[in-house]
Amino acid sequence: MTTTTEMPTPIETFRMEVRNWLEANCPTSMRQPIKSEKDLYWGGRNGTFANEDQKAWFEAMYEKGWIVPHWPKEYGGGGLGKEENKIVLQEMARLGCRKPITSFGIWMLGPALLKFGSEEQKRHYLPEITAGKIRWCQGYSEPNAGSDLASLATSAVDMGDHYVVNGQKVWTSYADNADWIFCLVRTNKEAKHGGISFLLIDMATQGVSTSPIKLISGKSPFCETFFDNVKVPKENLVGELNRGWTIAKYLLTHEREMIGGIGETDVKKPLHQVAIESLGTENGTLNDPILRPDIARWSIDKMAYDITIKRTMDEVKAGQSLGAASSFFKYYGTELNKAKYELMLAMGGYNGAAWEGEEFNYGQLARQFCRTKGNSIEGGTSEVQLNIVAKRILGLPSK
Amino acid sequence: MALILNEEQQMLKTSAKEFLKERAPVEALRKLRDERSETGFDRQMWNEMAEMGWACLTISESYGGLDFGYVGLGQILEETGRTLTASPLISNVLLGTTAINLAASNTQKEALLPIIAEGKMLVTLALDESTRHNPIQINTTASKEGDSYVLNGKKVMVLDGHVTDKFVVAAKTENGVSLFLVDAKSDGISIQRVIMMDSRNSATVQFENVKISASSLLGEEGQGAATIEKILDIARIGLSAEMVGSMTEAFERTVAYLKERKQFGVPIGSFQALQHRAAQMFCEIELCKSLVLKSLQAIDANEENLPILASMTKAKVSETLQLVSNEGVQMFGGIGMTDDEEIGFFLKRARVAQQTFGDANYHIDRFAKLSGY
Ligand SMILES: Cc1cc2nc3c(=O)[nH]c(=O)nc-3n(C[C@H](O)[C@H](O)[C@H](O)COP(=O)(O)OP(=O)(O)OC[C@H]3O[C@@H](n4cnc5c(N)ncnc54)[C@H](O)[C@@H]3O)c2cc1C
């Protein structure tokens, strides 16, 4: 440890540079909390910016290379090291900067390509993702393959110079707005896990169609996706034939960490602040004596959960592996989020019950509440995560 | 600060684990109980602990201590939680020594700490007076008479009060609450040993016109309240470390039993109803471990938010230990109800530790208050 601090360390200098750059380049409107879907920019062939600020912010970040700061430069990233990447994210969080783009390409497909893709695939697909040119969706689940994902049936048949894909995916989030889909397909009927491959498919190809499904939240963010004799070039296979399950598992781990809130940088109002504002206090005590301990318990759990994420990350840095812990985080983080909205609804009273009307913010709270119920289903249900913790961490036997 | 142990702390933990496994496993507690031991803990073992430096981890080097810090002490406490070892670590190290560290004058420290550091003097805190932890409710009085004070009142749940050499007594003085260091043999003190559910000991201590000199005042007169909160916060966190050890051990024993016990021709651990409950406990225990480590670090770093961290930790750890100790007995089935099986010892220790220094309800309320609601 140095005792004299006249000279800032390179990392401190970097932090100051980042801070100054963000201050100068992030429009004020892009530092406000996300209010609705419109505030998110998704990119893609048909992607449009909601306003000038959103566009300016995306373009500034893109030119700086900070759409994905830690991806290598040759793949469209910023080439930053882990520590520097963290600083960019921390400083963005500190200022409350919105993500310049919301993208399944960045947080799902990207990591898989970086680990399993060929050099050509990385050079082709990754820069398209950071430039916001191509919007991706995830084609895993099928009507008869949910929790038991490996029983999927959508087939890809080898026709010499290409595959022909037939089948149906379901719950495909944003498929109707996506340009490409990364799919798990069956390439061998004889082996369950060992007969699955990971295929990239352009959704503009003849034979691909989608149909939106309406959610309990009133929105239709996900679809059924159909494949009817779809021709897919062979070079679109990622990794080896029949080894797609390994990639799928890797990606699911990643997805769980994200859904579980690891690496989450959003700054949100603490729950008790919401409580104080909506219920009021008397002599420093919340006006609802029954909700009060529930809110305190939830807040303690939330902080304990965040500290646990930090502890786990510190352990990973010290050389231990995360492994099945991502299932614990997925389970706990999503259950916490659901519990939060139950409390928000209880505090909101009749306001939380409204579905329409300007004075009720168009039922925003009720709709968000409904949406949180999906947290413990998407990316593998809570029950499935508990199965994984029981078997992989605790070593409990199968029947 | 990174939430991991450094090498020295890790080594201390490992050596504590080995020592306790050898010298003070759960059978040792059973033996103390069955033989109705006078002290309630093994004096010889305490001497050995002191020789290893466990009595002086939090005493500064200038008074003969190791100045190793609370993260280190927490590792030892966690290990004693695994073995349910009865020792003066809570009463004497967490409470008594902390009180002297925080409130005593240099002269007092010079007189006391080197002896405490060697494990040759036991000091405990005489604070609570009500049926539940309530450190604000103090009716014991210390009235000034010339150059001395006269103590009157009754203290309950004085940990290891039946064997202690000195008490740190909280009493009302003219201008607030003050702390006094009182010799246990002083005239006018009567001590009633209370054997508790967990086979450990506390005492009910009566002070009747106990005359004490002005030099036994710890800290400024009337300034005791803040010191008491700080002592308690440190003790709450230290005790939580012990409780995490107990829950981890009880949980590991339960999981081992789930793998070993067969019914319907299969290990009971293959039943999903039990698997999910076990997995949920795993998650809660992970949260507890994080809180304890974070809070121990906060003591050493003298962080300002210690009260809030202490309440978060004691609340969460108390609730989780309750869950894990209950599930332990349930998942062991009939055998879990027998005195022969050790899982019941964890249940009993759990309930006593939950109440000590405030249970979950107490700390959830305090947490909310400290957070402004
Ligand atoms: C909002 C949302 C977005 C989604 N987005 C996508 C997407 O973009 N791409 C995609 O491919 N998929 C997506 N999904 C699908 C999601 O991955 C599946 O819904 C999920 O894996 C569960 O499958 P299922 O719906 O078939 O439920 P099922 O598997 O039929 O489960 C029904 C119930 O049975 C329980 N259950 C099942 N098996 C077990 C078991 N072994 N032990 C105990 N309980 C069990 C489940 O926990 C659940 O409670 C999305 C889902 C939601 C809700």
**Nearest Cβ partner for A314 among B4, B278, B368:** B4
The continuous run of DSSP H or E covering B157 comes out as strand B148-159
Which whole number is the average pLDDT over A271-285? 92
State the helix-helix crossing angle for B224-260 and B70-83, rounded to 10 degrees. 40
Which whole number is the average pLDDT over A74-90? 93
Is the domain of A96 the same as that of A142? no
CA torsion, points A240, A246, A249, A251, in degrees to nearest 10? Answer: -40
DSSP string, A268-324: ---HHHHHHHHH-EETTEES-TTHHHHHHHHHHHHHHHHHHHHHHHHHHHTT---TT
Is the domain of A146 the same as that of A231? yes
Is the domain of A265 the same as that of A384? yes
- Tell whether the model's pLDDT for residue A319 goes beyond 90: no
Is the domain of A173 the same as that of A206? yes
Give yes or no for residue A140 CB within 6 A of ligand 1: yes
**Nearest Cβ partner for A272 among B259, B274, B371:** B371
Number of domains in chain A: 3
Band of residue A265 on the pLDDT scale cut at 50, 70, 90: very low
Q: Is A254 inside a domain boundary?
A: no
pLDDT of residue A364: 87
The candidate with the shortest Cα–Cα distance to A266, out of A40, A11, A81, A55, is A40
Name the segment(s) of chain B with CATH classification 1.20.140.10: 225-370
Name the segment(s) of chain B with CATH classification 1.10.540.10: 7-122
Does A397 sit within 8 Å of B290, measured CB to CB? no
pTM: 0.92
Band of residue A2 on the pLDDT scale cut at 50, 70, 90: very low
Q: Which CATH number is correct for B124-223, 2.40.110.10, 3.50.50.60, 1.10.630.10, 3.90.1310.10? A: 2.40.110.10
A263 touches A212 (CB < 8 A) = no
Q: What is the pLDDT of residues B266-302, one digit of tens each?
A: 999 999 999 999 999 999 999 999 999 999 999 999 9
Q: Is A130 inside a domain boundary?
A: no
- pLDDT over 90 for what percent of chain A? 79
Q: Is A91 inside a domain boundary?
A: yes
Q: Is A119 inside a domain boundary?
A: no
The pairing of beta strand A208-213 with beta strand A162-173: unpaired
A230 touches A206 (CB < 8 A) = yes
Q: What is the pLDDT of residues A113-157, one digit of tens each?
A: 999 999 999 999 999 999 999 999 999 999 999 999 999 999 999
Which of A361-365, B32-36, B133-137, B312-316 has the weakest average pLDDT?
A361-365
- Residue from A256, A377, A388 to probe ligand 1 pocket by mutation (most atoms less than 8 Å from CB): A377
- Tell whether the model's pLDDT for residue A357 goes beyond 60: yes
- Tell whether the model's pLDDT for residue A257 goes beyond 80: no
Helix, strand, or coil (residue A166): strand
Is the domain of A289 the same as that of A361? yes
Give yes or no for residue A380 CB within 6 A of ligand 1: yes
**CATH code, domain carrying A388:** 1.20.140.10
Band of residue B163 on the pLDDT scale cut at 50, 70, 90: very high
Band of residue B189 on the pLDDT scale cut at 50, 70, 90: very high
- Tell whether the model's pLDDT for residue A388 goes beyond 50: yes
- Tell whether the model's pLDDT for residue A263 goes beyond 80: no
Q: Is A117 inside a domain boundary?
A: no
Of A243, A276, A301, which residue constitutes the final position of a domain? A243
Q: What is the pLDDT of residues B16-74, one digit of tens each?
A: 999 999 999 999 999 999 999 999 999 999 999 999 999 999 999 999 999 999 999 99
Is the domain of A97 the same as that of A26? yes
**φ, ψ (nearest 5 deg) of residue A97:** -65, 135
**Nearest Cβ partner for B286 among A275, A308, A397:** A308
Query: Average pLDDT over chain B, rounded to whole?
Result: 97
Band of residue A261 on the pLDDT scale cut at 50, 70, 90: low
What whole-number distance in Å separates Cα of residue B217 and Cα of residue B18? 40
Band of residue A354 on the pLDDT scale cut at 50, 70, 90: very high
Q: Is A113 inside a domain boundary?
A: no
Is the domain of A386 the same as that of A289? yes
Is the domain of A237 the same as that of A266? no
A396 touches B269 (CB < 8 A) = yes
Counting beta carbons within 10 angstroms of the beta carbon of residue A125, is it exposed (0 to 12), middle (13 to 18) or buried (19 or more)? buried
- Output DSSP code: residue B66: -
**CATH code, domain carrying A33:** 1.10.540
Q: Does residue A190 have an active-site annotation?
A: no
Closest Cα to atom 16 of ligand 1: A378
Residue of chain A whose Cα is closest to the Cα of B314:
A300
What whole-number distance in Å separates Cα of residue B232 and Cα of residue A395? 39
- The fold adopted by the segment(s) B225-370 is Butyryl-CoA Dehydrogenase, subunit A; domain 3 (1.20.140)
Query: Average pLDDT over chain A, rounded to whole?
Result: 92
Q: Is A116 inside a domain boundary?
A: no
Is the domain of A22 the same as that of A98? yes
From the list A255, A257, A315, A342, the catalytic residue is A255
Q: Which atom of ligand 1 is nearest to the CA of A374?
A: 53
Give yes or no for residue A372 CB within 6 A of ligand 1: no
Does B2 sit within 8 Å of A300, measured CB to CB? no
Name the segment(s) of chain B with CATH classification 2.40.110.10: 124-223
Centre of ligand 1 from the C-alpha of residue A260, in Å: 16
Band of residue A266 on the pLDDT scale cut at 50, 70, 90: very low
Does B294 sit within 8 Å of A307, measured CB to CB? yes
B294 touches A308 (CB < 8 A) = no
Band of residue A5 on the pLDDT scale cut at 50, 70, 90: low
Determine the structural domain holding residue A55 and report its residue range.
10-102
What whole-number distance in Å separates Cα of residue B211 and Cα of residue B343? 46
- Tell whether the model's pLDDT for residue A213 goes beyond 70: yes
Is the domain of A380 the same as that of A311? yes
Residues of chain B with Cβ-Cβ distance to A392 below 8 Å are none
The candidate with the shortest Cα–Cα distance to B355, out of B98, B131, B200, B136, is B131
* CA-to-CA dists, residue B324 to A336, A393, B79, B267, angstroms: 20, 17, 17, 20
Which whole number is the average pLDDT over A384-394? 96
Centre of ligand 1 from the C-alpha of residue A145, in Å: 9
Closest Cα to atom 37 of ligand 1: A147
Domain B7-122: homologous superfamily in CATH: Acyl-CoA dehydrogenase/oxidase, N-terminal domain (1.10.540.10)
Tokens of B41: 């803990």
Terminal C-alpha separation, chain A = 55
- Tell whether the model's pLDDT for residue B219 goes beyond 60: yes
**CATH code, domain carrying A194:** 2.40.110.10
Asked if B170 reaches chain A (Cβ–Cβ under 8 Å), the answer is no
Helix, strand, or coil (residue B134): coil
Q: Is A384 inside a domain boundary?
A: yes
